[in-house]
Amino acid sequence: MPIDFACVPPRMTVPPPPQLSKPFWAALLCVLLSLGAALTIFLASQRTPTNPIWFWSCVIGYPMLSWAFLLCCRLGYLYARRSEAIAVNRVSERESEKCHALASVPLALIGHAWRFSAARDENDVQGVVDGSLKLETRASEAKPNTDVEARWIEVPDQQFHAGNELTEYSRHHVVCNWLLAQLIDNLTPQLAALPARMTLQIEAVSRCALENNDVSARLKELVGGKFPALRVTVKSSTKHLSLFSADAWFDSMRPDVAHLLVAVQLRNAVSERLQNGVAEAGVALLLAHPTRARTNGEAHSLLLHRPDRGSANAVCETVQRATRWGNTKSNNLGAIWSHGVSPEMELAIRSSAGFDEQASRIDLRTTVGDCGDAGGWLATALAAELAARSGKPQLVLTQKNSDLIALVCRKQA
C-alpha cells in the first residue's frame, strides 16, 4: 500500500542522562597527577635552575587540564548520543503520525445488504446479536433420513431433490440469481442516489458451481438494467478475497468512483451431505470516497476504516492500530464480530487485547454458520448494520493463514 510504515525511521533507545563513575574519574585524576609529578621530577633533574612556575604547572596544571579535557570529551560523547536518539525519535514520531493520519482516512459505506436465508425475518441482525439465531438440525437434501446441522438457502417456489452434479448446478444457478437479485434490490435506494455517469466498479467473488464470468455478467445485467445512468464495470475474482483486500480500495478510490463488492458462497446441498456448521450466504457492500459520506448526510453516515494485519504474536498491536485508524479504542467497542478465527488465534486475542468486558462477542460460526469466503464480508455487513442502529463502533476480526485481520466500521459522528 502507498502508506508504507517501513519508511518510518526506527525508534532508538534514549540513553539516560550521563552519570559518570566518581571513583573511576578520581582514580584517573590521581594517575594523571602522579604521572605529571614523576615526569616533571625526571625532567627537572636534567636542568638547573628549576623554574617554580614551570614546575608546578607540570605537576598540577597540565594533568588537571588533561583530566578536564578527557572528562569533557566523555560528557560530550554521552550527551551527543542522547541528543541523537531524541532527535531520531522525534523524526520517527512525526513520520509515524503522518502515516497514521493517512491510514485513518475512511471510506464511506453507503450501502450494505446480505442474505443467508430466504426467510426475510431470519436475516435480521438482532437475531445474530442476541443469539436467538442458531444453526439447527435439518434433514439432509442429499441423503434421505439423515440429519445435518447446516444452513442452506431454499428459494421460494423452487424445490430441488437429491441428485447429481447437474442437479446441483441447476440449484446453484437458481439460488445465485435469486441472491444477486435480492442484494441489488436491497441496494436500490443507495445506487439510485449515485450521480449520473458515475463509475461503479463491481467486484464479484463467487464460490459456487457457476463460472465467475457468468456471475459477473448477471450482476452487470442487473445493475445496468436498473441504473442505466451509471457506468458499470465488472471484475470477477477466482481467488480468495480476504478483508485485507479492502486495504487497496482506500488508496485507489476517487470521488467519481463507487465500488460494489458482491460475495456469494454456496454449498453442494443436494449432491452430497453437508458438513456440520457450514452455511450459504450472499453479501454486498457499496463503498465510495469519504466525501460521499459528507455529501448525503444521514443516508451515507457509515464509515469503513482501513484494516490491519498481524501475526498471533502481535494481536494487541494489530487491534490497537485498527482501532486507532477507526478513531476509537479497544475498550470502547460496541461489539466484536469474528469469522474463521482459529481456537489458537482466539486464545491469543483473549489473552493479548484489552477489550471491554461489556462488549458483545459474536462469532458467526455459532449463529449463521461457516460462510466460507463470504464470512468476513458478512460479518462486516452485519457489524455495519449494528453500528447504524446502536451508534457504537464495531470491530471485525477474521483470519487469513496465520495472520489476524482487524477493521473497524462505525457511524459518522
Q: Domain residues of the chain, as ranges?
A: 5-103, 107-411
pLDDT of the chain, 413 residues: tens digit per residue: 456 666 777 888 888 888 888 888 888 878 887 887 777 777 666 655 556 776 677 777 778 888 888 888 988 888 888 888 888 888 888 888 888 888 889 999 999 999 999 998 899 999 999 988 988 899 988 888 899 999 999 998 888 888 888 999 999 999 999 999 999 999 999 999 999 999 999 999 889 999 888 999 999 999 999 999 999 998 876 677 889 989 989 888 889 999 999 999 999 999 999 999 999 999 999 999 988 766 554 445 899 999 999 988 888 889 999 999 999 988 889 999 999 999 999 888 888 766 777 778 999 999 999 999 999 999 999 999 999 999 999 999 999 989 999 999 999 87
Kind of pairing between the strands at 335-339 and 360-363: parallel
**Alpha carbon separation from 337 to 127, 340, 380, 390 (Å, rounded):** 14, 11, 8, 15
Round to whole Å and give the CA distance between 123 and 144. Answer: 27
How many H helices and E strands in the chain?
13, 13
Q: Yes or no: say if 207 and 265 are a contact pair by the CB < 8 Å rule.
A: yes
Q: Which residues, 6+ apart, have CB-to-CB distance to 238 below 8 Å?
A: 212
Residues 330, 326: Cα–Cα separation, whole Å: 10
Q: d(Cα 74, Cα 68) in Å, to the nearest integer?
A: 10
CA distance 382 to 302: 12
- 154 membership: H or E segment, kind and range: none
List Cβ neighbours of 353 (8 Å cut-off, separation of 6 or more).
Answer: 315, 316, 319, 330
Is the pTM above the cut of 0.85? no
Query: Which residues have a Cβ under 8 Å from the Cβ of 120 and sit 6 or more positions away?
Result: none
Whether residue 232 contacts residue 224, with contact meaning beta carbons closer than 8 Å, is answered with yes
Angle 61-64-65 from CA coordinates, rounded to 5°: 85
Contact by Cβ (8 Å): 351, 404 = no
Note the CATH number of domain 107-411.
Answer: 3.40.47.10
The three-state (H, E, C) secondary structure of 101-137, written as one string:
HHHCCCEEEEEEEEECCCCHHHHCHHHHHHCCCCCCE
Q: Which three cell numbers stand for residue 181?
A: 437479485
For residue 378, give the nearest of 357, 362, 360 by alpha carbon. Answer: 362
